[in-house]
Amino acid sequence: MPEGIIILLIVLLLVLAAEFVNGWTDSPNAIATVVSTRVLSPSAAVAMAAVLNIVGALVTGTAVAATIGKGIVRPEIIDLPVVAAAMLTIVLWSILCWRYGIPTSESHELIAGLTGAGLAVAGPSVLLWGGWQKVLIGLGFSTLLGFALSITIMTSLYWLFRRTRLATVRGIFGKLQIVSAAFMAFSHGSNDGQKFMGVFALALLLGGVTTQFTVPLWVILLIGTVMGLGTAIGGWRIIRTMGFGLTKLEPVNGFAAETSSGLAIMLASSLGIPLSTTHTINISIMGVGATRRFSAVRWGVAGNIVSAWILTFPVCAILGYLFAWLLKLVL
């Protein structure tokens, strides 16, 4: 078998490995609240998330995949080892964060890893400012918009149901939260599910399998399935941190958090903006908890999560650079 084909197959397997750990640490974001409020069992929630992640990626286009695949670094001046270095970065950092139950952002790992690896082989000219503008806008979407929407929705619900018995509210939102969790899973697929599809398509382009950047249907189905398997096998640690560790959630709180984060994600997806679904749902949960009272949020847990967010960009950029440098020496 030619050496180029072997390298391509290894890189594609690394992309699938990165998407698998994404299922451990990122996909559980879509179902953490509906599991913690006991509206759905973990198995039912995982099944729903797996299906709707694929549906979300199928019906919302590939704008985010295109941003990742050809908008962060110049595909014409990088090679397959750059993609391999970024995937190794994601696998290493994600497993480390998963080990301690910290939800990390594969979106930021991917962007930082690609950037660091690209810089190692091609220097600053490899970066594309247009794609990075979308990344920075995504930070605003996930933080400011997610927090503002969650507070607005939760405050409105408190006011609308202020004279309704708690048992009645629980009954109503126990049903509605299934809808909001489904919406969150769908929106997750529309944005996060596309990112590794974009990387897979980029690898096919760099390996000479395709002549232009495109995301075939089989790639969408393959990536979505691998992500669902990762969630089913290893997602519970992150579900426990997000659903139980940040604040106490009732079905109405879960509904507000899922709806607000889903809306923010769908808006970003429609604009081709890659954002961190981890940031968005975590910020939404914090906003929902803060509307009850500021101390209702366990800020120590939140601080650990935020610290991981802050570290992700520099650590993964350095790891991507080092892995690309080592692979360049070997290959």
Q: What type of residue is 302? A: A
Helix, strand or coil, per DSSP, at residue 127:
strand
Q: Which two tokens stand for residue 48?
A: 């729903």
Domain count, the chain: 1
Is residue 73 classed as helix, strand or coil in its secondary structure?
Answer: strand
One-letter identity of residue 93: W
Q: Check residue 151 and give left, alpha or beta (phi > 0: left; psi -120 to 50: alpha).
A: alpha
In the prediction, which pLDDT does 271 show?
85
The count of other CB atoms within 10 Å of the CB of residue 207 is 18
Torsions phi, psi for 39 (to 5 deg): -75, -35
Residue-level pLDDT at 322: 97
275: left (phi over 0), alpha (psi -120 to 50) or beta: beta
Structural domain harbouring 98: 3-330
Query: Which single residue is written with the structure tokens 């991981």?
Result: 308
Cβ–Cβ under 8 Å, residues 188 and 278: no
User: Closest by alpha carbon to 83, among 11, 6, 169?
Assistant: 11
Tell me the C-alpha to C-alpha distance, in Å, between residue 114 and each of 88, 118, 192.
11, 6, 16
Q: DSSP characters for 27-64?
A: GGGGTHHHHHTTSS-HHHHHHHHHHHHHHHHHHS-SHH
Written as tens digits, the pLDDT of the chain (331 aa) is 678 889 999 999 999 999 888 877 766 667 777 877 788 887 788 788 878 877 887 777 788 888 898 889 999 889 999 999 999 999 999 888 777 767 677 888 999 999 999 999 999 999 998 888 888 888 887 888 888 999 999 999 999 998 899 899 999 998 999 999 899 888 888 887 788 999 999 999 999 999 899 989 899 889 888 887 777 776 666 666 555 555 677 889 889 999 999 999 998 888 888 888 878 888 888 888 888 777 667 777 667 777 777 888 999 999 999 999 999 888 7
Residue 72: helix, strand or coil by DSSP?
Answer: coil
Task: State the pLDDT at residue 111.
Answer: 92
Tokens found for residue 126: 């490899």
Looking at residue 77, its pLDDT comes to: 87
Task: Report whether 198 contacts 215 (CB < 8 A).
Answer: yes
Decide: helix, strand or coil at residue 208. Answer: coil
Q: Which pLDDT score is estimated for 195?
A: 87
Distance CA 52, CA 56 (A): 6
Of residues 137, 139, 138, 169, the one with CA closest to residue 154: 169
> Are 298 and 247 a contacting pair, CB within 8 Å?
yes
**pTM of the shown model:** 0.86
